[in-house]
């Protein structure tokens, strides 16, 4: 029996030494940063230290400050007013080729050029010419005045031209020129509206929302709806909500403008130590693709929409926002753009929610479509996860040692009980 005890003791000692050596080796590897444990993303230290694949994409890290937020706010891609700076009402509607025009000539007394003598009994000394379109040369034809150029002119200008041509032959003539059918100076409203249409511009003028209303209004609630305005080859796009809540975007619409309404849900990605929420596909998960659910969303709201930070896992001081910024904005942020080949600079904004002011900063930063939020793990969580793995390794070694011990005992018992 003493021999059995010594044998088992030797096996145990060898097993514990082996597994103890494995645990120490694992600890050394983890301390050296070899990354043998699974992780859900880079650590905060790696992001701030720019530890990345040399063959990968370089990036810049910018700390969110009030000055940075001010720069970003000036570059919000939500302003039609900034693209169309002429805030005046639309110009006076002018005739174009194809417009149908009506001309009425008045004379002070009968017996003139247009009014016969016997017309004195008529209720008004005027004659209305048949309606006629502006021809391909841009003219209309008026008896005794000839071809009068109408294209590009207002009704008053055409009236004055006709009077000037017949005033020496008619009796104190006056002329009224009106647009009978407006085939030019149209406004087109297309896309996700109830009655897409092309309709005449209003002489008194109207705004973008007025034109959308004339087209039956938008089909959906609006927070996923975008509105594009095109004028003379210039385009600008804003969320529909920007027209409603920011009146400066609801500018005057001009003749021949095109308004295109379309639906494109705004989404963002959330990774790392977030608690989870309902994603853009309607599935609850702790990270993935999330919908804005509103026409605009702040960083704090987006993080809350993704479930917020996991209390036992997240490093509240290390929340990062990934975004591509155009070079002019990057330069204002103090970034040297000469190191990057393209016009878009990869930028990672960092904010600390451990700092009480970080929550105020988070409410001021507006999310953009396809932004990425990453919440890093806390160092203490990584240590706890490592210790759990080490305990698993040690437990596995103990189980193996116990199994060996049981096997040795069973073998010796069988040997002792067998006949000599």
pLDDT of residue 115: 78
Task: Give the pLDDT confidence score for residue 42 in this predicted structure.
Answer: 84
Residue 407's pLDDT is: 66
For residues 310 and 275, is the Cβ–Cβ distance under 8 A? yes
Q: What is the pLDDT along the chain (420 residues), one digit of tens a residue?
A: 444 444 444 544 444 444 444 444 444 444 444 444 556 678 888 888 877 677 778 899 999 999 999 999 887 656 788 889 888 899 999 999 999 999 999 988 877 888 777 655 555 688 899 999 999 999 999 999 999 999 999 999 999 999 999 999 999 999 999 999 999 999 999 999 999 999 999 989 999 999 999 999 999 888 899 999 999 999 999 999 999 998 989 999 999 999 999 999 999 999 998 887 666 666 666 778 999 988 889 999 999 999 999 888 889 999 999 999 999 999 999 999 998 988 999 999 999 999 999 999 999 999 999 999 999 988 766 555 555 656 665 666 566 556 666 666 566 666 665 555
Closest CA to 323 of 7, 46, 29, 76: 76
Distance CA 141, CA 19 (A): 106
Specify the domain boundaries for CATH 3.30.1950.10 within the chain: 100-181
Rounded to whole angstroms, the Cα distance separating 57 from 319 reads 20
In the chain, ranges of CATH 3.10.560.10 domains = 44-76+266-380, 186-263
As a whole number of angstroms, the distance between CA 333 and CA 200 comes to: 46
The whole-number pLDDT of residue 179 equals: 94
User: Side-chain half-sphere of 121: how many Cα atoms within 13 Å?
Assistant: 1
Structural fold of domain 100-181: wza like fold (3.30.1950)
Question: Which CATH architecture does the domain made up of 44-76+266-380 adopt?
Answer: Roll (3.10)
pLDDT for res 34? 46
CATH topology of domain 186-263: Outer membrane lipoprotein wza fold like (3.10.560)
pLDDT at 216 (0 to 100): 96
**150 and 138 in contact (C-beta within 8 Å)?**
yes
Res 311: pLDDT = 84
Q: Tokens in use for 373?
A: 């939020």
Residue 60: C-alpha distances to residues 46, 69, 323 (Å): 13, 16, 10
Closest C-alpha among 255, 92, 100 to residue 182 = 100
Count of residues making up the chain: 420
CA distance 221 to 265: 12
């Amino acid at each position: 029996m003493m021999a059995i005890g010594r044998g088992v003791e030797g096996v145990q000692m060898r097993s514990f030494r082996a597994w103890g050596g494995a645990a120490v080796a694992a600890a050394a590897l983890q301390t050296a940063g070899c990354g043998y444990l699974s992780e859900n993303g880079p650590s905060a230290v790696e992001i701030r230290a720019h530890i990345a694949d040399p063959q990968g994409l370089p990036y810049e890290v910018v700390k969110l400050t009030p000055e940075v937020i001010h720069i970003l706010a000036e570059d919000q891609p939500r302003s039609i007013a900034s693209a169309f700076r002429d805030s005046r009402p639309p110009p006076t509607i002018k005739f174009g080729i194809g417009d149908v025009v009506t001309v009425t000539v008045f004379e002070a007394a009968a017996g003139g050029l247009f009014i016969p003598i016997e017309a004195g009994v008529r209720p008004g000394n005027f004659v209305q010419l048949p309606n006629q379109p502006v021809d391909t040369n841009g003219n209309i034809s008026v008896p005794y005045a000839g071809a009068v150029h109408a294209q590009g002119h207002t009704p008053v200008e055409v009236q004055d031209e006709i009077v000037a041509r017949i005033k020496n032959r008619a009796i104190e003539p006056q002329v009224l020129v009106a647009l009978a059918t407006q085939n030019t100076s149209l406004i087109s409203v297309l896309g996700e509206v109830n009655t897409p249409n092309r309709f005449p511009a209003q002489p008194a003028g109207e705004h973008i929302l007025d034109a959308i209303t004339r087209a039956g209004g938008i089909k959906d609630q609006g927070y996923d709806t975008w509105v594009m305005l095109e004028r003379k080859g210039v385009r600008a796009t804003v969320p529909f909500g920007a027209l409603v809540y920011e009146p400066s975007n609801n500018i005057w619409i001009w003749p021949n403008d095109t308004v295109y309404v379309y639906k494109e849900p705004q989404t963002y990605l959330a990774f790392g130590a977030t608690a989870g929420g309902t994603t853009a596909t309607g599935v609850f998960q702790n990270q993935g693709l999330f919908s804005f659910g509103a026409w605009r969303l702040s960083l704090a709201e987006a993080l809350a929409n993704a479930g917020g930070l996991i209390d036992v896992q997240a490093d509240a001081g290390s929340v990062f926002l990934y975004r591509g910024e155009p070079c002019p904005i990057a330069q204002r942020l103090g970034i040297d753009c000469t190191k990057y080949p393209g016009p878009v600079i990869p930028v990672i904004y960092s904010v600390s929610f451990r700092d009480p002011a970080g929550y105020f900063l988070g409410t001021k930063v507006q999310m953009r479509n396809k932004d990425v939020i990453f919440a890093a793990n806390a160092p203490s969580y990584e240590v706890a996860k490592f210790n759990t793995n080490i305990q698993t390794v040690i437990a596995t070694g103990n189980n193996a040692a116990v199994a060996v011990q049981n096997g040795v005992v069973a073998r010796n018992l069988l040997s002792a009980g067998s006949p000599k």
